[in-house]
Structure 1
Amino acid sequence: MATDVPTAHYPDWARELGEKYLTKTISTFLLHGDVRDVIRTTNPDTGAPTYVPLSRFLTDDLFAARDLIVQYDRSSGLHFPDKDSQRDFNRAVSGYDSIFGTDYQRKLPKEPTRVFALLENYFRLRLSKGKRMACIIDYAETIVPMAEAAMYSAEDRQALVYLQKWARDPLLLDHDFTLCLVTENLTDLNQQLVQSPHTAEIQVPIPDDTARADYARWYIGDRTNAYAEHAEMPPDTLADSTSGLNLTQLRTILADVLENKNALTFERLSDLRKDFIEAEAYGMLEFVDTDFSLDDVAGHREAKTHLRQAARALRANRPDVMPMGYLICGPVGCGKTFLIRCFAGEIGIPMVKLKNFRSQWQGVTEGNLEKILNLLEAMTPVAVMIDEADAALGNRNAQGDSGVSQRVFSQIVSFMSNPKHRGRVLFFLMTARPDLMPVDLKRQGRAEEHLALFYPHTREDREELLQIMMQRTGVSLSIDDVPDLLLTGDRTFSGADMEAIMTRASFRGAAEGTEVTPEILETTVQDFIPPTYPQEIELQTLAAVLECTSKALLPEPYRSMERAEVVQRVEALKHQI
């Protein structure tokens, strides 16, 4: 990279690449992240900002001082950004054909091993003559994919050897030569190459608010009046409201306003943003939309108090006082998911649900998770809900899946413990069996705050929960008409049980052509058998007691129980079950 080329207008990742290159210890760079977006640069003729694809930014700007540039991908094969590079390469191919008896001058190969053999000869010839060179290999994951060694074909092995050899070749390191491998997900590449000390990973991040605002103003240009006529928000507000989107997606929104003359309201912008992010995440992220608030949650007073305090801190822009994450535990049907959905209605930041990102194909699971984590980092501030966390997040000690669970676990815990994510990416891990979760996920610095939820233990709690369930199911009875069995505590009913009872009572009433009467409800309650197993419920309850990090969240009699007594009972239940 020529030192006389101004770099002030370069993005941070390009300056990082330049600094590492100038050490003369690394010539192979792995570009990953938002590599399919446009990059801001400067028009060489006018000095005005402009935006170009990554490939053009590399060839026309970052490597503009190079004498020769070669580009390659499996689909297009070898291609060149300018005619001089093309002509020079054709001359070298002519000599290669005469020496090795090939016929590449008539038709260039596309297979990686043949291409790399041709390129190695070309690199050595031109570098020995003092030429400055760059080589850009796009869709690198199709050439050296992530896979177990036993799954590699002979072609894959040869391609990997070429790239590893070039990364440490003294001739390439001593001359003005740069090799860039471009891929969206770093985990899609062979990990021997990624982890090699002779390569450097350079992440191209999803644009931040400032970058999106600059692009919006550039794209709108002198059409400010036309934009203002159809959009409710100014460009800066548009940029603030589109976190997680790249510039290409932002352009789609702006073009719809300026070219199609469609109105852009805050509601439509929110819908578009959700659609873009969910599509970018391949459907593995789902926005949590809710019309509820914590006022709609019955019982759980201490947990609601804590979450309301957290909501106030977030609205006051105090991420520094927030825990890195929450572990929400309790027996099935106690309202864990509903509580966090209601919290999403109060915090003023988006909440997404992490869906199943695992795949049966080698390396795809890790790539899916990398994309999700990159999106979450770009969407900050954001809350993330992970249901059944004990099964979803894997385990450092898992066996039998070629190490996938171990790698997934490592990615998750590394992301969760990053200090810059405190209060910016807020995890809610929900499980009925916190005892099955690895300690690494539950320790301080990750899921720091453990909130335990329980079935209602007082008549007041049961009445409050029952009234909410009657409202939700449309049962119009007063609390005095409710059977005592639901309120005395002689039998334990979860919120899910109460909702099921009200639904069954409504079904009986509809069958008889009437509203739910006290008699119908009484009959339904007497007939109802909860589809649960008492020992498993007790185990889940006591596991939540052991996991809880606040005495105030524990109802009696659990608050006064000796911990050793709880541990002993939990172990006994595990053996029985």
Structure 2
Amino acid sequence: MNWKSAPKFLQTIIEKFNSGQSNQFILYGNVRDLYSLGKDQFYPLIDCLKRLMDPPEGNQRRIIAYYDLISGVQFRNQDDLALVETILGKAELQKYMQDSIQHPLQALVFLQELSKISLNTINSEKQGWGFIINHVESLIHRQESNHLNEVEQRKAMIFHQWFTDPSFVRGRHLAVLVTQTLAELNEMVVELPFVTAIQVPRPNDAQRQRYLRFLKKQHQVSLGLKEKDAVFYTGGLALQDLQKMFMQANHTDTKLTAEMIFKLTQEVIEKELSGNIEFPIINYDFSDVIGSKKLLAKLEEMKSFIMSGKPDLMPTGILVPGPNGVGKTYTFKAFAKECGYLPVIIKNVRGQYVGQTEMTWEKIRSILEVMGNVMVIYDEADTELGGRGAGTHDVDKRLFGAILRMMSDPNNRGKIIWIIITARPDKLEPDIKRTGRAGEHLPVFDPEGQEREEFIDFVMSKVGLSLDDFLADQKQRFLHHTANYSPADFIQLLTNLERKKHLTSRNLTADEILETGYDFIPADISLQRQLQELLAFVECSYQSLIPEKYANMTKQKAYTQIGELKVLLGEN
């Protein structure tokens, strides 16, 4: 076949092998999928590797040995099995193969010994050996090197002896190790000098489009949307997922609509990354964001840049500082919806086992990079993102570095926009706040003046009242009492008012609203919120977003007040 049309990762193996750079490869990532080897020809990875290692044409024929923990050592077909029997003898070979099922260490020794056998001793067109070890992470899992037991140490030594043996390295042999995530595999294998690790990406738009056309013919399923929209909505899915989707539609005789495809895509991805990724349902937009006119005007500008389709105009990331309870997440979820981007919330990335954090992030990255048009919302970023400072755990440092690399990747510009939300931007590493990453700093402040009254009116309208219904004295008392309320405090007051309305089974009077307000005591975090608001002020990228009360304040004075507040809060 013409390997020039094969997936890029297979072409990379061929190129590096033919140039003499490597004959040992680790494939990781989307390795449990289907791959195109020609028009309407899609195969699982192991079948693709067998075809690559032992093509029927040319001088690259090999005996292929396959291994995984369940099946042990197997050979590609009866012809290969017969050839090995002529070398080792039938009884001896069967014993080796049977032992390989029960004893992984013996299986590894057996594969290494096979690689030493010269095929010149038998009358065969085969020129070398091809080895495929599937689920290799289950054979030699990642562990701290000083925690390896004797068996694991021997496995690592065998890999080292095998993959650095000059006769194997210079021969016509080819070895491929397959794992879903590189982070699960022992580093002693990954770092061997002649091993090349190649990521198998999720299918891109063109690959999904080709497979969708094939599935439409195969299953006779109709699409209730344009083909290009189906391609867009299936971003992040593997071809196997598309196959299941069409099989289900065919079985139920259902037309695939945009809503169905989008829902199924979300379900598949959330299941694969259970607990680590969430696609929030947003049923509001900018019209529901009250009291932030200056910010909304700036976000409308950003929206026009994003929707222009010009990556150079789009922000890579936006830092969103602001005090607790001000509505940062609410506002920027609305921003994602207004821009037509899919909001994605990442959470619980850190794992308790060695390599678990890196494994999780590897999966998240592989999905996000192929989806496109996503806004990654990182809430409580000061505690979630990790860092590089003294005392930071090595896992947090590696996670932070991986996030920075992903943010800086020019291939992601315009496809992935990062929303970094925090009340404490001072606790973020400077690397993430700089231009080229989260370089746009758009704080959310408490509404003030007329905007504050509009916000309060919005809250009052939920219980059938307006500030205009108050007498002048009542209005003044209410505004004075709620002067230090955050938007979140007002939402809690609204809940209390709705409860009272439920108990009385009628609309509340102004006096009853005042009574409920006097009874409610919000959490006393006024000093913390003052600190958080000052931090948002000093981080702000645009003069037009600064509240009136800070209009004449210098940053030097703000930093002085920040230091004083930290002392009062016991932070220094």
* TM-score, normalization by structure 1: 0.91
Deviations 1:506-559 (A, max 9, x none): 222333343222111111222232213221111111111122222221112223
- 2:403 and 2:491 mapped to 1: Cα distance? 35
Question: Are 1:204 and 2:219 matched, yes or no?
Answer: no
Question: Are 1:86 and 2:81 matched, yes or no?
Answer: yes
Letter of the structure 2 residue corresponding to residue 467 of structure 1: D
Distance change (3 Å), C-alpha of 1:357 and 1:274: same
Residue of structure 1 equivalent to 2:349: 357
- 2:351 and 2:218 mapped to 1: Cα distance? 47
Give the drift of 1:314: 2.4
Question: Are 1:508 and 2:503 matched, yes or no?
Answer: no
Residue of structure 1 equivalent to 2:564: 572
Residue of structure 1 equivalent to 2:408: 417
Question: Are 1:265 and 2:253 matched, yes or no?
Answer: no
TM-align CA RMSD: 2.3
Letter of the structure 2 residue corresponding to residue 415 of structure 1: M
- 2:355 and 2:136 mapped to 1: Cα distance? 14
Residue of structure 1 equivalent to 2:139: 143
- 1:234 and 1:490 mapped to 2: Cα distance? 52
Deviations 1:217-237 (A, max 9, x none): 1222266xx423xx3125443
Distance change (3 Å), C-alpha of 1:494 and 1:95: same
Give the drift of 1:94: 4.2
Letter of the structure 2 residue corresponding to residue 562 of structure 1: T
Distance change (3 Å), C-alpha of 1:550 and 1:127: farther
Residue of structure 2 equivalent to 1:45: none
Secondary structure of 2:202's counterpart equals coil
Letter of the structure 2 residue corresponding to residue 463 of structure 1: E
Question: Are 1:333 and 2:325 matched, yes or no?
Answer: yes
Percent identity of equivalent pairs: 30
Residue of structure 1 equivalent to 2:14: 18
Residue of structure 2 equivalent to 1:126: 118
Distance change (3 Å), C-alpha of 1:335 and 1:106: closer
Deviates more, 1:149-158 or 1:539-548: 149-158
Residue of structure 2 equivalent to 1:75: 70
Give the drift of 1:24: 1.3
Question: Are 1:479 and 2:467 matched, yes or no?
Answer: yes
- 2:314 and 2:190 mapped to 1: Cα distance? 34
* Contiguous gaps of at least 5 residues in structure 1: 43-47
CA contact (8 A) 2:99 2:107 kept: no
- 1:166 and 1:284 mapped to 2: Cα distance? 38
Deviates more, 1:486-495 or 1:499-508: 486-495
* Contiguous gaps of at least 5 residues in structure 2: none
Question: Are 1:160 and 2:156 matched, yes or no?
Answer: yes
Give the drift of 1:173: 1.8
Secondary structure of 2:325's counterpart equals coil
The aligned runs of 1:419-568 (5 Å cut-off) are: 419-458=410-449, 460-471=450-461, 474-482=462-470, 483-487=475-479, 491-568=483-560
CA contact (8 A) 1:435 1:543 kept: yes
Q: How many residues align?
A: 557
- 2:191 and 2:98 mapped to 1: Cα distance? 38
Distance change (3 Å), C-alpha of 1:117 and 1:426: same
Letter of the structure 2 residue corresponding to residue 189 of structure 1: L
- 1:258 and 1:511 mapped to 2: Cα distance? 52
Deviates more, 1:313-322 or 1:291-300: 313-322
CA contact (8 A) 2:424 2:535 kept: yes
Residue of structure 1 equivalent to 2:221: 227
Distance change (3 Å), C-alpha of 1:278 and 1:165: same
Question: Are 1:115 and 2:115 matched, yes or no?
Answer: no
* TM-score, normalization by structure 2: 0.92
- 1:149 and 1:11 mapped to 2: Cα distance? 35
- 2:363 and 2:527 mapped to 1: Cα distance? 40
Distance change (3 Å), C-alpha of 1:179 and 1:138: same
- 1:374 and 1:330 mapped to 2: Cα distance? 31
Deviations 1:271-326 (A, max 9, x none): 11111111122231111221111121112222212222222222221222112111
Give the drift of 1:447: 0.9
Give the drift of 1:398: 6.1
Residue of structure 1 equivalent to 2:33: 37
Distance change (3 Å), C-alpha of 1:257 and 1:437: same
